[in-house]
Chain A
Amino acid sequence: MELIIQGIIKAFELIISFDPEVMGITWLSLKISGTATFISLFFGVSIGAGVALTDFPGKRIVISLINTGMGLPPVVVGLFVTILIWRSGPLGFLEILYTPYAMIIAQAIIATPIVMGISLASIQSLPANLRLQILSLGASRLQMAWILIKESKLPLLAAVMAGFGGVISEVGASIMVGGNIKGYSRVLTTATVMETGKGNFDIAIALGIILLILAFLVNLLLTHVQQRQRLR
């Protein structure tokens, strides 16, 4: 118990004193996971909407695959990304292993199915007649898709939160493809693992608390946007 209190005190010390290393780590976590979530949003929503709005043979299998992907184990993603981008791998010429870029790629792969699955379900849950109505008013298919995406913005913002929450708290893939390099690819989760390993539990707890606060603030912002839309 004493240790937890010590950790909490340490967390506030680090935040209030604007500890440059901790601030750097926090900012980097936010940037990497934010970028990854943004990329996943692009692919997730477009493919999710595409699958939801078209009929093709094997659609159920595709949806099952997407839903399975929502639980994609980060370490497996990390392993495959590592093998693809290391020097002897097919994408080795890019030289991006152990960089924040590699972390963004891995995290985007983890978040995309989550965003995709939620967008797919939310667009499918819209009344079927709405589609016909929009089309009958003379909208093109692309315009229809955009209107439907807008209609389901509530669950879509939930998808952003789920995707972001999934990657900011992820450690397995980040440590494999990022390498936990000080001042360069060390993020909150990998730093927490390392400090625990070193026996610096107070700092580890402090980093954990900062991670929680960060996740809370981001979700607060997104929830604010989401709920404001609802009132209007």
Chain B
Amino acid sequence: MKIFKGSKWAITILVAAVLVVTGAANVFAAPQQKNIILATTTSTQDSGLLDVLIPIFEKETGYFVKTIAVGSGQAMAMGKKGEADVMLVHSPDAEKKFIEEGCGVNRRLVMHNDFIIVGPSADPAKIKGIKSSTEALKQIAKANGLFTSRGDNSGTHSQEKKLWKTAGITPGGQKWYQETGLGMGQTLNVTSEKKGYTLADRGTYLAMKKSLGLDILVEGDAALLNIYHVIEVNSSKWPKANARGAKAFADFMVSKKTQDIIKTFGVDKYGSPLFFPDAGKKVEDLGK
């Protein structure tokens, strides 16, 4: 052991590192079997709704929820590989395909809010007051107004593409059309900085309004309904998925208690709710 003589510094570092490692082990002792991976859209996290709901669920059931906030497209891509147990998403057309492919089961309506077209208050493309969202997009295209798109296959992006298609415009590659590839919050920040227009969900917009220089310019169009469903991943396809946990979470989302929380969430802070609970309703009846 002669070589260790006078190497106090080495021992000090070693001890420090061992302390760090053993200390680390305590925190990581989360139960493995009780984990649920929830793949969801950025809007449910950015609006703060999940920060309220998840702790309640965890306390009630003892499950540990790993929330991975990505776009709806990526959330379902995770589901398709069995990398998520349950999904809370808002991209109805893609969801139907997802169910048809046998990737998910038990798709249930949770809540809705609506999309809005926001832009600078100066409104260079003069879209304020236009009732139809497709007409507004046509007007933006005609005026070469800058439009920032999520560009990430999220639910909002799918909705936006659908609107462009209805308007008969191919925005991709146009000079006035930019894709951020970011979440809703980030895209709103970019849009605000660039004084552009974008399609946003009302929840995220209201939650971030204080830091944005953007106004609501188009709202209330029936084509702008934003509907959230909860889907459990098909556990017969991926035996590793936590089917019981997924079902527990999905049941929780449509339970009366949760629906009541959703109903009032955001009222105290923003003066109006960010989401409208819809469990048990039919999609056709929404917005009426």
A positions within 8 Å CB-CB of B: 28, 30-32, 34-35, 38, 41, 86-88, 92, 95, 97-101, 104, 143, 146-147, 150, 153, 179-182, 184-185, 194, 196-201, 225, 229
Contact = CB atoms under 8 A, between A and B. Distances in A.
Interface stretch (B15-23, B244-252, B263-271): B15-23
Interface string B18-41: 001101100110101001010000
Interface of A is mostly: helix
Nearest to A82: B83
A199 B66 contact: no
Given A35-B20, A38-B17, A198-B185, A95 B3 contact: no
B189 interface: yes
Interface in B154-213: 182-183, 185-186, 188-189, 207-208, 210-212
B181 to A, nearest CB: 13
B240 A87 contact: yes
B81 to A, nearest CB: 6
Given A86-B81, A181-B66, A184-B66, A28 B27 contact: yes
Contacts of B23: 31
A185 B54 CA distance: 15
A146 B188 CA distance: 56
A32 B69 contact: no
Contacts of A153: 9
Contacts of B35: 95
A137 B30 CA distance: 53
Given A87-B82, A88-B81, A181-B66, A199 B208 contact: yes
A87 B239 CA distance: 10
B46 A198 contact: yes
Contacts of A147: 3
A182 B189 contact: no
Contacts of A100: 24, 27-28
A201 B183 CA distance: 16
A6 to B, nearest CB: 11
Interface string B46-66: 100001001000000000101
Nearest to B54: A182
Interface string B208-226: 1011100000000000000
Contact of A95 (B32, B42, B207, B238): B32
